[in-house]
Amino acid sequence: MDGLTRLPNPNPPAASGWRQRTLKTAIDCVGVGVHSGRRVNLAIHPAAAGHGIVFRRTDLGRDIPAHFDNVTDTRLCTVLADPAMPSARIGTVEHLMAALSALAIDNALIELDGPEIPILDGSAAPFVFLLDCAGSVALDTPRQVIEIRRTVRVSAGEAWAELRPLVPAARGADPVLQIDLSIDFTAPAIGRQSASLRLTPDSFRHDVAAARTFAQAQEVDQLHAAGLARGGSLDNAIVVDGSAILNPGGLRMNNEFASHKLVDAVGDLALAGGTLHGRFVAHRPGHGLNNRLLRALFADPTAWNPVETDPLVAAA
């Protein structure tokens, strides 16, 4: 591949982060789409090296690669569609994509018989649990790693998002995605919050995966009137009314709102087509801004570089 470089690898046997991974075995679940309210059967299958993450609408017989170029809607979630058949859509992919990315699963075939990934409890934690149950295995192929070489920024009003190069001191044996973001809502129950994470399986699993999606009470009626959020409930979303949290159990963590925005960002950035090695910094990010950022990154060939350290080659 033209322009391909190799990052130093001082300890090849331990550099498993540079190897592609897939599941050890298939796993499935059943749930409800948050917007359609439809029951959805979902199955995640192992796939060969180089396959990538591909969604299959079994009811339509269409495959849709998980890639930023296939994002067609970002208003309430991230929606992928088949370019050759735009009506073949898959919504709310971000939580499952975040779990796959955080657990370093590069290759999987995801089958579902409806237009949405099940919302489950509104967080990425159930998907992490499923993937942990299935287990994963390293493949004899290097990962596709995308190193950020120059800062790229997009904005919309007061909201903005950047991908920045990592300073040399932040680099380690494995590719790294550092995430730092803040949010600012007028609702007192949310207000201003921030969340930061150096993305690893353990940090994602223990620090942010359980953070749930959220909405304000006045938005719920509007969504229902528009025929949306038919599957939404207090069992799969935090609902805020001014300074009140309407969920009987309250919050799972002090910064759950910002942490969920971080989960969304991990899932949206997982559509890059490779593992990002850099830093994501944002204020008031959303699905649309995250997708615009990836499009801006790949529109500028000077802003990124494909890199590779193949432990098999390095150890030979």
Q: Which residues are catalytic?
A: 287
3-state helix, strand and coil shares in percent for the chain, rounded to the nearest 5: 25, 35, 40
Q: Which two tokens stand for residue 255?
A: 């910064």
What single-letter amino acid sits at 38? Answer: R
What single-letter amino acid sits at 190? Answer: I
Q: How far apart are CA 19 and CA 184, in angstroms?
A: 38
End-to-end Cα, the chain, rounded Å:
21
Q: Which two tokens stand for residue 224?
A: 């229902």
Q: How far apart are CA 53 and CA 164, in angstroms?
A: 25
For residues 280 and 162, the answer to whether their CB atoms sit within 8 Å is: yes
Q: How far apart are CA 28 and CA 15, in angstroms?
A: 30
CA distances from 20 to 49, 137, 141, 269, 272 (A): 7, 9, 6, 17, 15
For residues 56 and 112, the answer to whether their CB atoms sit within 8 Å is: yes
**Residue 200 half-sphere exposure toward CB, CA atoms < 13 A:** 9
